[in-house]
Amino acid sequence: MISVILYGRNDSHGYNLHKRAAISLNCIAEVLTDPDDEILFVDYNTPNDLPTFIEAIYDTLTSAAKARLRVFRVRPELHARLVGHTHLAALEPHSRNIAIRRANPRNRWVLLTNTDMVFLPRAGFPSLSAAVQDLADGLYILPRYELPEPLWEAFPRTDPQAVMQACEDLGRKLHLEEITLAFPYMRFDQPGDFQLVPRQALYGIHGFDERMIHGWHADSNMCKRFYLFYGKRTESLAHRVKGYHCDHTRVATLAHRLDIKLENNLNEFVFGLEDPIAHHQGDTWGAPGEPVEELDFSSDPQARFTAALETALGAPQQDDYLADSNDLRNFVAYHAAHVLPHLAGNLTTYPRSARFAYIGSNPRMFSLADRCIDELGFTHPLFNAGVTPAPELLLADYDLLIFDFGLDPDALKLDNVARVTDWPRDLRYRLGDVAKSLEACALLADSHRAHVPDFLVINANHHIFRQFAGQFLLLSETPYATHVRKGRPRIGDERLYRGHTWKYVEDDMRSFFGYGTWENTVPRVTLREAIDFTSVGQSSRYKDGNWGAMDFSGTWIEGHSAAILFAPPERADDDLIAFIRVNEAFIGPEDEPIRVRASFEGETLARWTLFTRYGITVCKILLPARLIAGKSVCRIELHVENPQSAQRVADALGQKTIGHDPRELGVKVQQVTFTNKDPWRYSLGETLDFTEHARGIDHADECWTQPDELGAWTIGPEAGIIIWPRETTAVPVAITFTINDAVIDPDHPDMEAKVTVNGQQVAVWTNWPTRNTHDRTVVLPPECFRSLDPIRVALHVKNPRTSFALGWSTWDKRPRGIRLNKVRLAPVLQYHLGGVMDFTAGGEAVAFVGDSLGVEWAVPDAWGFWTIGKRAEILVPFDRPLTESVPMAVVISDCMVHGSAAKLPVVVKANGHTVAEWTLDNRKPHTRSFTLPAEAVAAASTLTLTFEVSDPRSPLSVGWGQDPNPLGFRLARAVIGKKEIEIPDFEKHTRYRTLKRILGLPRFAVHVARVLLQRYR
Amino acid sequence: MPGPLSGLRIVITLPPHPWFGGVDYNFAVEMSEELRTLGAEVFDLDVAGFHSGNANYIAGAIEALKAFRPDVALPLPNALYALLCVTRDGKNVLRDILQIPTVMLWDHGLLQLPRQILNHLPMTPAESGGDAIRRLRQELNHALFFHYSPDRGHIAALDQLGVMQASKVEFFLQPAYPNFVRYGYRTPLSNAFRTRVAFAGNVYLQAAKDLPFRNLPLLAGIESRVLAAKKSRLTECLWDLIMGEISALDKPTRKELRLDADSTFFWNFMHEEIEMVGNTDVRLSVLTGLKREYEFYGNFVEPKSVDTLRSQYRIQFRKCLDYFTELPLLFMNSDVMVDVINLGYNTGISPKVMGCFACGGLVLFDYKDDFLKTMGDVANQVMYRSVDHLNTLVDEYLTDPRKRRDVSRYLQHRVATEFSFAALAKHVLVDKPVWKR
């Protein structure tokens, strides 16, 4: 009999919309009695994210109302296509026309009303259906009685009989029933709340005029048109039915604001209207060709929601799930079964024909979602797009893109995940691909605005995924426990600059998830080409394990074990060296150095100790060819033995942190370079320069400071140098260190440094008279340079001191020892019979004293070197062993004789045989000679010449200076095989000093003049 | 239609993103985007790579720059960053390697540039180095550097000190950065950071307190006198007041204190005294002199000082604002913004002021001659000359919303059309391309 047509939108229009609509729908259903009667509700332009208005109030509807309700959903896309530009979100003409077109054709009458009306058939008419069954064709209008808001707000919405009875009882009691007259063609004011008209007539005039898109007067227009259509008559049905209207003007809606009210043109659509038929829309009114969704409350996704989830999930959960909303460690894991209901909750508002795509790498989540989508009744299965789909395809073909930033916890067989990098790289990096896909789709959406699918992200509720997603999407902030957020891409002005906050996110995404230009392969390295581990480089493919955050200065190792993966060079038939440049070590509050063990292909090959918080340290590891051979991928594992808690360090510094900082930091790697052994190869006679622009530091281990223009300091108790000989020699080799500083000062004059070569001690230095530049020479053990085996020279500083402790710096707490400027290795001078041995500064024969320099012999100067203590030795290697007795002569340039101690006895021994006994009593340079007997030297390849000074004296004790060392005599030259030796011109040096002083006189005069000038100015 | 910068290939600098709370980085990013929008091809040169001594990056960048064949360099957000693009052997990439003209847009260059160039920050006169003037001249007076200063006072000061001839530096009024201009075309969320009176900026309580040279009686005396003078005569600039005090010292004292421009201590002293001490003291003095209630936003530089602001100065501190999303809303939704222009400017204004106008806000700030000369009489509607004057202006605008709207709309129009970064870029790069000489 009657098709009641209503429309609305799930937008809380006015105040308490849900209640008055439920009252109205339930009461209307109550007065419909014909089996064909129906209530058609057009849900117009409700946002796709929301259910329709009827779904939102469905639980408050009576079974009678539910039985007669048909709901049509006009989505925003159709609204935009049908209407174009309007300020209104819901349009009456279009809504009603869509319903008219789809009304039950067996019904003669159509009642156009609204969801705030209550109809009461008057006495004699048991129902509205009965009241209209014998009516002649025409347009019938009702006067509308207003129900004050407190009245209807007190009505029980689910009891229509009670509501109707209350209207009946109170209408007159409260003096509510006023009939408001209007123009004759309308009969009553507000006619739109009851316009009853034959369905056929609505077709005859082509429905509501769909040009009326500015609001208001659609009812007046219909009245005027039917008035004309029916020969200038508009009927009243007030004698059979009463109509009550739930007033809702507590809150002024946009339509009620007189100052900004827009409306359709009354002259055009009402006053001047002459033709009732809307010819312009004869074929198009009511969108006849559009497939408008009609809701099925018994089997739509919304109705199937619970059952679908139960089926998809299977067994119920056994225990509570635990999740940490502040988790910074294992933030890629979530419980898929728990997430599914929240994911599915976002799907029920889509049409059944909707197409969903999944971009992610959690097979458990995908399979649950796929099953659920099927059970929800969607006609297309969930498309598994993987992690590298084509954005064009996704944007063109799908309605919702689901980006999953999580992984299946079952894929990781670890009881305790201490950090996100405990996850296998392949899995983690797939999330980087998910991120890249999201970015690509969001950016593409900006240029494909015609069809932009919705975006849904899983596990982007906190931490870096939240920030990443927020850069590209406008998403609702949902509770952490849902793990699901839905939204749309930022387009146009909504797009964000890639500011500094983005830069942090980008760097982290690249560090942990290989975001960027990632492909799952391990690159082949090229010798001498540096791999950049800073954020401007592309190091993801080389990394595995516990690599932490990356920034413009490098990548932290966060945790215990980080690996460098590489494919070796194609022709790698020799050992390689990996130079690992570290620019920061996270020293803890106890100033304990960071210790790193480096292994290659499972073999531990190096141990590093890093003392420097800030400053470059280059660690080196030799990668043997035998471990490289035949490998397509090699692995250097860096095990940080004592990573430091970032929280502890922050606490120690008094820094405020928000929450707990769970990071355990080791070292920050800036770059890695592979070379062959060339940087370590060495030819005898070469000088290794340890200043900043030279390559000497390439030979050093990590226990050295970054070189500056003066050299590099040893750090810690042991600092090493590695040397790979280029050639061999049978001649003994000496190493000469040019040292230009040491951690000594007047308060700390003592220092002990040992020199070891391949672990064998070769020298102990205890005498540090000066911080000035000087050389120290040590003879290497005989086996060195006999083969091409590597040689490791180490300097062991017994008590390294910090610049901070010495007062040289206010912050530098690195334990330093000595500063090395140069190193040179050369074959030890071999003595050729008759040659003059020069023991003055720079004289090659100084090498004959070996590691006794500084111990038994003082540092040489222009007059030779002093014996120290009671015994001083010289070891002279012969190029050819002696066969008989030979003479020997020496030049003594000075001796410790003075006043009461005018004589100095000295015993000279050759290979243990006493060969001379002297009593020195003259400080002037002079020569002495003696014979080396055959029994002492014959057949010996070396001569150990020992000088025993029974009564050495210090310059301090005799008043010559501050030197407390017990000295004997100063040896300047020696010769074997000759009785005579020439005394050098020691005065040359004295003359030079005098000349300097003379040349300096004018400068001194200027200085004096300046002082005088200042004094008398 | 091709943009006004079409055909230009420009190298810009991006500061390291952690510096200065990311603000400079953000400025540079959006300015470079603006240059692209105007049609230029832009090469982003990452200063972080130079700062960290990343030889890989530097070598790669130089190679890529050579392939890019830039016409001109425009260090962003200001000229300072050009000086940081230096290889490990001391060569400036823009000037010495690419040898391209570089448009040097200063910020408060008088204080910033010498510190960067001298690279020596002595905290006491005893630690001072010398030879400053020669080094500044050598670095700045390069034929490929084209200087622009937003402060005529700075130009004059450097000329007087013999560092640069005034004729070699062009003046420009600080522009509004693109984000603020863009917000000017938007409708703000009406209740976002809705305030009647607000201040947005920084004070440096802790940093100022920690300066060692403030313990030296002579320097402390200078400081107290110039601060008192500045607070009683807000229209005068702190630089001139300090220079006046210095010139009043006898020569030996001046020399002992190393307060001559050839000493590195002088430049650090001036910087810290003005930027740290001056900004803190004078801003707090003006703010605590306000009769109306106001809200304090910002202070991202010293978040720990917030408690002191609340307890000692009874300042209603709100929060640090995000530059991109929140600061424009504060400007737009505040009836009156109150500002004390960064004391590093002598006669010019900061981009914050122009940003506020560009997005439709109204800011009252202390008198700056360059603003008056450039904008005309309307400048007097927004500049105060004393705290009393400021209080009067605040009352006027709060009680006369129409006046507030008229002034702010007029200034918004002028700033958005004449003094945006886009307009400045077009001016210096195309309309009056001094760099092409």
Q: What are the tens digits of pLDDT across the range A371-382?
A: 999 999 999 999
What pLDDT band is residue A413 in, cutting at 50, 70 and 90?
confident
pLDDT of res. A54 = 97
Summarize pLDDT for B173-182 with one digit per residue, the tens. 999 999 999 9
Output the six-digit token pair for B294.
């106001």
pLDDT at A256 over 70: no
pLDDT at A1005 over 70: no
Average pLDDT of B217-231? Answer: 95
Report DSSP state, residue A411: G
pLDDT at A90 over 80: yes
Query: Among A89, A106, A108, A112, which residue's Cα sits nearest to residue A41?
Result: A112
Residue B382 lies in a domain: yes
Report the residue from A497, A532, A553 with minimal CB separation from B324: A497
pLDDT of res. A1015 = 47
What are the chain A neighbours of B22 within 8 Å (beta carbons)? 499-501, 503
Q: How far apart are the C-alpha atoms of A624 and A288, rounded to whole Å?
A: 79
B252 C-beta neighbours (distance < 10 Å), count? 10
Q: How far apart are the C-alpha atoms of A841 and A893, rounded to whole Å?
A: 13
What pLDDT band is residue A939 in, cutting at 50, 70 and 90?
confident
Lowest mean pLDDT among A69-73, A84-88, A328-332, A946-950: A84-88
What are the chain A neighbours of B30 within 8 Å (beta carbons)? 497, 499
Q: Answer yes or no: do B54 and A553 touch at CB < 8 A.
A: yes
Query: Among A204, A219, A216, which residue's Cα sits nearest to residue A253?
Result: A216
What pLDDT band is residue A511 in, cutting at 50, 70 and 90?
very high
Residues B262 and B222 in one domain: yes
pLDDT of res. B186 = 87
Name the CA radius of gyration of chain B, rounded.
22
Residues B246 and B343 in one domain: yes
* Contacts with A869 (C-beta within 8 Å, 6 or more apart), sequence order: A856, A949, A952, A966, A968
User: Containing domain of residue B114, as a range?
Assistant: 9-172+421-436
Consecutive H or E run containing A531? strand A530-532
Query: Are the C-beta atoms of residues A855 and A966 closer than 8 Å to each other?
Result: no
Q: Which residue has the tokens 């409260």?
A: A174
Phi first, then psi, for residue A66 (nearest 5°) are: -60, -35
Answer whether B177 touches A (CB < 8 Å): no
Lowest mean pLDDT among A8-17, A519-528, A846-855, B47-56: A846-855
pLDDT at A927 over 80: yes
Residues 178-237 of B with CB under 8 A from A: 179, 182, 186
Output the six-digit token pair for B62.
């130089």
Q: Is A128 helix (H, G, I), strand (E, B) or coil?
A: helix
End-to-end CA distance of chain A: 122
Residue B283 lies in a domain: yes
Output the six-digit token pair for A801.
């001191």
Summarize pLDDT for A62-82 with one digit per residue, the tens. 999 999 999 999 999 999 988
According to the CATH classification, is domain A695-828 in 3.30.70.20?
Answer: no
Q: What is the mean pLDDT of chain A?
A: 91
Answer whether A1017 touches B (CB < 8 Å): no
Q: How far apart are the C-alpha atoms of B365 and B336, rounded to whole Å?
A: 11
Residue B2 lies in a domain: no
Query: Are the C-beta atoms of residues B408 and B362 closer than 8 Å to each other?
Result: yes
What are the chain A neighbours of B26 within 8 Å (beta carbons)? 497, 499-500
Q: Is A132 helix (H, G, I), strand (E, B) or coil?
A: helix
pLDDT of res. A378 = 97
What pLDDT band is residue A952 in, cutting at 50, 70 and 90?
very high
pLDDT at B432 over 60: yes
- Residue A921 burial by Cβ neighbours in a 10 Å radius (0-12, 13-18, 19+): exposed
CA torsion A119→A125→A128→A131, rounded to 10°? -120
Query: Among B105, B53, B44, which residue's Cα sits nearest to residue B84?
Result: B53
Residues B233 and B351 in one domain: yes
Residues B161 and B252 in one domain: no
According to the CATH classification, is domain A524-676 in 2.60.40.1120?
Answer: no
Answer whether B48 touches A (CB < 8 Å): yes
Which residue did the predictor score with more confidence, A570 or B372?
Answer: B372
Which residue did the predictor score with more confidence, A628 or B21?
Answer: A628
pLDDT of res. A991 = 52
Report the residue from B18, B57, B324 with minimal CB separation from A532: B57
Answer whether B55 touches A (CB < 8 Å): yes
Which residue did the predictor score with more confidence, B172 or A999?
Answer: B172
CATH level 3 topology of A2-294: Spore Coat Polysaccharide Biosynthesis Protein SpsA; Chain A (3.90.550)
pLDDT of res. A730 = 81
pLDDT at B398 over 90: yes
Residues B141 and B196 in one domain: no
Residues B219 and B347 in one domain: yes
What are the chain A neighbours of B53 within 8 Å (beta carbons)? 616
Residues 285-344 of B with CB under 8 A from A: 304, 323-324
B350 C-beta neighbours (distance < 10 Å), count? 21
Q: Which residue has the tokens 């630690």?
A: B127
Lowest mean pLDDT among A948-962, B28-42, B250-264, B349-363: A948-962
Beta partners for A196?
Answer: A111, A140
pLDDT at A715 over 50: yes
> How many independent structural domains does chain B possess?
2
Residues B207 and B222 in one domain: yes
ipTM: 0.86
Query: Are the C-beta atoms of residues A19 and A127 closer than 8 Å to each other?
Result: no
Q: How wide is the angle at C-alpha B247 spanned by C-alphas B243 and B250, nearest 5°?
A: 145
pLDDT at A537 over 80: yes
- Cβ-Cβ contacts under 8 Å between A and B: the total is 68
pLDDT at B212 over 90: no
Q: Answer yes or no: do B29 and A553 touch at CB < 8 A.
A: no
What is the amino acid identity at position A478?
T
User: Global pTM?
Assistant: 0.81
Q: Which residue has the tokens 């057949």?
A: A939
What are the chain B neighbours of A532 within 8 Å (beta carbons)? 54, 56-57
Residue B308 lies in a domain: yes
Output the six-digit token pair for B407.
């002034």
pLDDT at A1017 over 50: no
Residues B429 and B392 in one domain: no
Report DSSP state, residue A317: P
Summarize pLDDT for B300-320 with one digit per residue, the tens. 667 777 888 888 888 888 888
The reply to whether A695-828 shares the fold of A2-294 is no
Summarize pLDDT for A134-186 with one digit per residue, the tens. 999 999 999 999 999 999 999 999 999 999 999 999 999 999 999 999 999 99
Residues B337 and B432 in one domain: no
CATH level 3 topology of A832-984: Jelly Rolls (2.60.120)
pLDDT at B145 over 90: yes
- Domain residue spans in chain A? 2-294, 301-513, 524-676, 695-828, 832-984, 987-1017
Residue B3 lies in a domain: no
Summarize pLDDT for A861-880 with one digit per residue, the tens. 889 999 999 999 998 888 88
Residue B231 lies in a domain: yes
Residues B221 and B363 in one domain: yes
Residues B350 and B239 in one domain: yes
3-state secondary structure chain B: CCCCCCCCEEEEEECCCCHHHHHHHHHHHHHHHHHHHCCCEEEEEEHHHHHCCCHHHHHHHHHHHHHHCCCEEECCCCHHHHHHCECCCCCEHHHHHCCCCEEEECCCHHHHHHHHHHCCCCCCHHHCCCCHHHHHHHHHCCCCEEEEECCHHHHHHHHHCCCCCHHHEEECCCCECHHHHHHHCCCCCCCCCCEEEEEEECCCHHHHHCCHHHHCHHHHHHHHHHHHHHHHCCCCCHHHHHHHHHHHCCHHHHHHCCCCCCCHHHHHHHHHHHHHHHHHHHHHHHHHCCCCCCEEEECCCCHHHHHHHHHHHCCCECCCCCCCCCHHHHHHHEEEEECCCCCCCCCCCCHHHHHHHHCCCCEEEECCHHHHHHHCHHHHHCEECCHHHHHHHHHHHHHCHHHHHHHHHHHHHHHHHHCEHHHHHHHHHHHCCHHHC
Query: Among A737, A684, A993, A986, which residue's Cα sits nearest to residue A853?
Result: A737
What are the chain B neighbours of A504 within 8 Å (beta carbons)? 17
Summarize pLDDT for B91-101 with one digit per residue, the tens. 999 999 999 99
What are the chain B neighbours of A671 within 8 Å (beta carbons)? 54, 56
Residues B189 and B86 in one domain: no
What pLDDT band is residue A254 in, cutting at 50, 70 and 90?
low
Report DSSP state, residue A545: E
Q: Answer yes or no: do B57 and A583 touch at CB < 8 A.
A: no
pLDDT of res. A746 = 86
Residue B367 lies in a domain: yes
Phi first, then psi, for residue A264 (nearest 5°) are: -70, 155
CA distance A551 to chain B (A): 9
Average pLDDT of A48-58? Answer: 94
B265 C-beta neighbours (distance < 10 Å), count? 24
Query: Are the C-beta atoms of residues A730 and A753 closer than 8 Å to each other?
Result: no
Query: Among B110, B104, B180, which residue's Cα sits nearest to residue B151?
Result: B110
A431 C-beta neighbours (distance < 10 Å), count? 29
Which residue did the predictor score with more confidence, A655 or A394?
Answer: A394
Residue B1 lies in a domain: no
Report the residue from B16, B29, B304 with minimal CB separation from A499: B29
CATH number of the domain residue B301 falls in: 3.40.50.2000
Query: Are the C-beta atoms of residues A583 and A615 closer than 8 Å to each other?
Result: yes
Average pLDDT of A754-772? Answer: 88
What pLDDT band is residue A1006 in, cutting at 50, 70 and 90?
low
Q: How far apart are the C-alpha atoms of B113 and B406, rounded to whole Å?
A: 39
